[in-house]
Each structure stands twice: as structure tokens, then as C-alpha cells.
């Protein structure tokens, strides 16, 4: 592992640098394209072999069969009921396909992929010798990262997050302007010498994962390590905009994806919460979200927080998975230290899905009565 935790001011948790002493300043530097964020909570997988792209296309939610060198995508692995099991960023360099996964998901994802190879010309390898840094496009950090990025086949292994726009074959449930349109996030894969050279370069500006997470939450960007549980459907988090191709053909879980999108509604929905910051409380992931009756006499648990952060402009914010039937107004987040008032912003509306224009059949009870044969006498 690169020596990021040894950088001046670095505060690390199990090797992951959370901040360098000033998360708010780091957010601004990161957002302005000035800082790099070491992402030790990500792991790199490498796929090689002549059939790697067509094989990956056949078993995941995204259309990747025709990726060119340098192209980026995002994919989901779904179970037979359409629930999200694994998530990965995808970038191809013309000879290898690189997958970037949350660290806790990397080995399970690699194991599942290896079981799916069968006779295909594909090799799956976890690459613990590589590390990942994140940055925003358009600044000095991008130049440093691209110069340092791994390029074993002449193409830099740099993933461009597709979140800013609805991808071909995708669909956005949120109505109106989307904060993800300004989320120009990228990640570069580095080998050990390149990472250590950045660590030794006193001109490199650094930001921790607290800064990166705050900007992700503000962009409503879902993540496997936060927004996914054993019930998650891609519709619930608006993940179809970036990670699902609705028209590419069959893959595991595709029937459920199509059925919910065309005919039904996801049972839960992602919402953004703007939290009351007067008590300086920030909820942990899993904190229950409650709806209160108008007179405050009754409470109903309608969901839970998935991610929370202090944003440098928005203040305390969170993402929450709510029941589809949760009210659209203000909510309450319960913590061990007290309740937090939360103003809700709709990401996925309750009526998401049911996009197919299916004509309604006339009910049998409403059909004209058959003529009485006695009337012809």
C-alpha cells in the first residue's frame, strides 16, 4: 500500500485517509480540481483475454461489448430477482478491462466473475499492488493524476464517472435539474512507484475521503458501500441513469429491471435530506428516518439514512432510502443524541417506473350487454 497515511496531517482509519486536518478546505480544493484524494477503500480488478468485453456484457447490466480503448462505464451485477449484488467502475485500455470496486465488494465480485468464466477466454485477477486516487476534472490535480496513471498498454487507466449525464440506454427518474450534472469525478489507477512519487512531491495537494464523500452525497451519487443493501433495486437510487442499459438484451435480473421500469414502481426511493445543523449532530448510516403526524402525536418509521456529511456550502446533508409511500414533506432523523429535523428533496419520485404506454383493457363489467335473442321475434 502506498504511503498516503504517512503524509503530513493525514488522519487514517484502517489505512484509509479520512482527512488532512481541514475537511472543509479539502472539499473546496477537491471540487476546484486542485486536490487528489487517496482512495484506499477501493480495489482494482483486471480482466484479460480476447472475450473479456463480450463476456462482461452478457452477465452485467451495462452495454460494454463495444467499448474502445480509454472508454469508461459503470456496471451492476444483479441477482435473479433484480437486486444489486455488486457494482464496479469499468475502463478499458484496449488489452485489459479494469474494474474499480469498493474494497469490501472486490473479493466477492472477483469470486462471482471467476465462477462465470466457464469456457470464455477471460482471466480475472485482483490487483492489491495497485492503488486509486480520485479527483475532479479541469485542474492541476487532473494533470498530475493522468501523468502518474498506470498505462501498461499505452492508454492511461483513468475512469471518468458517467454520472453527469444519462447514459445511452439509461433513464432518469428525477424530474428537473440534477446536481450530478456538475459532478465531473475521475479516478486514476497507480502502481506503487507512481503513488510513492506523488507522496514525495511536496507540490501535490491532498484531500481525504470525508471531502470526497460530501461531494458525492451532494451530487446524489449512489455507492455500493453506502446505498446498497440486500433489497436494493437499481430503480430506487436512480442508478439506471448511469449503470443500466435498458435495451441491450438479456442478463441476470433483467426481467425484474424491465418489469419495474415499464409496469410497476420500486418499493423504495432515494431522497436527499438537508439536516438542521443547530445542534451539530450528524447521523450515522442506518439512523432511522421518521415521519410525524401534523400534531406531532404519532411517529412512523419510513426509512433510514445511508450516507451523511457536512458539505462546505450546503451544511449537513444526507441520502436516505425511504418507503415509496413516505410523505414528501419534512422528516425527522433519530440519533442517540437527539432528533434532527430534515427537509426532504425528492430524488426518485413515488411514481417512478410504469413508463410503458400500455392501453387499458375495458373491464368485462363495462362491456355492452349481448342482445337478447327474444328481441328478434
174-200 pLDDT, tens digit each: 999 999 999 999 999 999 999 999 999
Q: What is the pTM (predicted TM-score) of this model?
A: 0.93
How many residues does the structure list for the chain?
Answer: 377
Spatial distance between the Cα atoms of 183 and 204, rounded to a whole number of angstroms: 22
Mean pLDDT in residue range 18-22: 98
Spatial distance between the Cα atoms of 102 and 110, rounded to a whole number of angstroms: 12
Cross-strand bridge partners of residue 189 = 132
∠84-64-258 over CA atoms, to 5°? 45
What percent of the chain stands above pLDDT 90? Answer: 89
Hey, do 4-237 and 266-346 end up sharing a CATH topology, with the first three levels equal? no
End-to-end Cα distance, the chain:
96
pLDDT at 107: 98
Quick check: 135 pLDDT over 70? yes
Q: What is the grid cell recorded at 327? A: 410523505
Domain limits of the chain? 4-237, 266-346
Give me the CATH topology for the region 4-237: Gyrase A; domain 2 (3.30.1360)
Spatial distance between the Cα atoms of 344 and 335, rounded to a whole number of angstroms: 17
pLDDT at 2: 78
Tell me the per-residue pLDDT of 203-259, one tens digit each, with 9 for 90 and over: 999 999 999 999 999 999 999 999 999 999 999 999 999 999 999 989 999 999 999
Spatial distance between the Cα atoms of 15 and 36, rounded to a whole number of angstroms: 16
Tell me the per-residue pLDDT of 310-356, one tens digit each, with 9 for 90 and over: 999 999 999 999 999 999 999 999 999 999 999 999 999 999 998 87
Yes or no: is domain 266-346 CATH 2.40.30.110? yes
- Angle, helices 140-148 vs 192-200, to 10°: value is 140
Spatial distance between the Cα atoms of 299 and 322, rounded to a whole number of angstroms: 15
Quick check: 293 pLDDT over 90? no
Tell me the per-residue pLDDT of 43-96, one tens digit each, with 9 for 90 and over: 999 999 999 999 999 999 999 999 999 999 999 999 999 999 999 999 999 999
∠44-48-54 over CA atoms, to 5°? 105
pLDDT at 376: 46
Q: How many helices (H) and strands (E) does the chain have?
A: 9, 18
Write the DSSP assignment of 86-155 as a string of letters.
Answer: EEEEEEE-SSEEEEEEEHHHHHHHHHHHHHT-TTSS-EEEE-TT-EEEEEESSSHHHHHHHHHS--TTSS
Closest CA to 106 of 73, 70, 77: 77
pLDDT at 355: 87
Quick check: 144 pLDDT over 60? yes
pLDDT at 368: 54
Spatial distance between the Cα atoms of 246 and 249, rounded to a whole number of angstroms: 8
How many CB atoms are closer than 10 A to CB 151?
16
Model confidence at 371, in pLDDT bands (50, 70, 90)?
low
The pLDDT mean for the chain works out to 94
pLDDT at 1: 54
300 HSE (CA, 13 A, CB side) = 11
In the block, cell 512519487 appears at 197
Exposure of 266 by Cβ count < 10 A (0-12 exposed, 13-18 middle, 19+ buried)?
buried
Closest CA to 192 of 91, 30, 33, 44: 44
In the block, cell 421518521 appears at 290
Write the DSSP assignment of 200-221 as a string of letters.
Answer: H-TT-EE--HHHHHHHHHHTT-
Tell me the per-residue pLDDT of 352-369, one tens digit each, with 9 for 90 and over: 998 876 555 555 445 555
Amino acid at each position: 500500500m502506498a504511503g498516503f497515511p504517512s503524509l503530513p496531517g493525514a488522519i487514517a482509519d484502517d489505512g484509509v485517509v479520512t482527512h488532512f486536518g481541514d475537511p472543509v478546505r479539502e472539499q473546496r480544493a477537491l471540487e476546484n480540481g486542485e486536490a487528489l484524494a487517496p482512495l484506499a477503500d477501493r480495489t482494482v480488478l483486471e480482466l484479460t483475454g480476447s472475450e473479456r468485453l463480450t463476456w462482461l456484457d452478457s452477465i452485467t447490466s451495462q452495454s460494454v461489448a463495444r467499448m474502445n480503448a480509454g472508454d469508461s462505464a459503470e456496471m451492476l451485477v444483479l441477482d435473479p430477482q433484480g437486486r444489486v449484488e455488486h457494482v464496479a467502475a469499468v475502463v478499458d485500455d484496449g488489452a485489459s478491462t479494469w474494474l474499480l470496486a469498493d474494497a469490501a465488494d472486490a473479493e466477492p465480485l472477483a469470486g462471482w466473475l471467476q465462477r462465470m468464466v466457464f469456457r470464455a477466454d477471460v482471466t480475472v485477477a485482483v490487483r492489491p499492488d495497485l492503488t486509486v486516487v480520485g479527483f475532479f476534472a479541469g485542474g492541476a490535480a487532473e494533470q498530475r493524476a493522468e501523468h502518474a496513471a498506470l498505462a501498461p498498454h499505452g492508454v492511461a487507466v483513468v475512469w471518468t464517472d458517467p454520472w453527469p449525464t444519462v447514459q445511452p440506454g439509461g433513464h432518469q427518474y428525477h424530474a428537473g435539474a440534477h446536481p450530478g450534472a456538475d459532478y465531473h469525478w475521475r479516478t486514476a489507477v497507480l502502481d506503487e512507484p507512481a503513488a510513492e512519487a506523488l507522496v514525495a512531491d511536496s507540490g501535490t495537494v491532498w484531500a481525504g475521503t470525508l471531502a470526497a464523500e460530501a461531494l458525492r452525497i451532494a451530487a446524489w451519487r449512489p455507492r455500493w458501500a453506502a446505498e446498497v443493501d440486500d433489497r436494493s433495486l437499481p430503480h430506487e437510487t436512480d442508478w439506471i441513469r448511469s449503470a443500466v442499459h435498458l435495451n441491450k438484451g438479456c442478463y441476470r435480473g433483467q426481467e425484474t429491471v424491465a418489469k419495474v421500469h415499464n409496469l410497476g414502481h420500486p418499493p423504495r426511493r432515494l431522497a436527499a435530506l438537508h439536516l438542521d445543523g443547530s445542534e451539530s449532530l450528524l447521523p450515522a448510516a442506518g439512523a432511522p428516518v421518521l415521519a410525524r403526524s401534523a400534531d406531532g402525536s404519532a411517529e412512523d418509521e419510513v426509512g433510514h439514512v445511508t450516507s451523511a456529511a457536512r458539505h462546505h456550502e450546503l451544511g449537513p446533508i444526507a441520502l436516505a432510502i425511504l418507503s415509496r409511500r413516505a410523505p414528501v414533506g419534512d422528516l425527522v432523523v433519530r440519533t442517540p443524541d437527539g432528533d434532527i429535523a430534515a427537509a426532504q428533496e425528492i430524488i426518485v419520485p413515488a411514481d417512478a417506473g410504469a413508463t410503458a404506454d400500455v392501453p387499458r383493457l375495458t373491464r368485462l363489467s363495462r362491456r355492452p350487454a349481448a342482445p337478447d335473442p327474444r328481441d328478434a321475434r
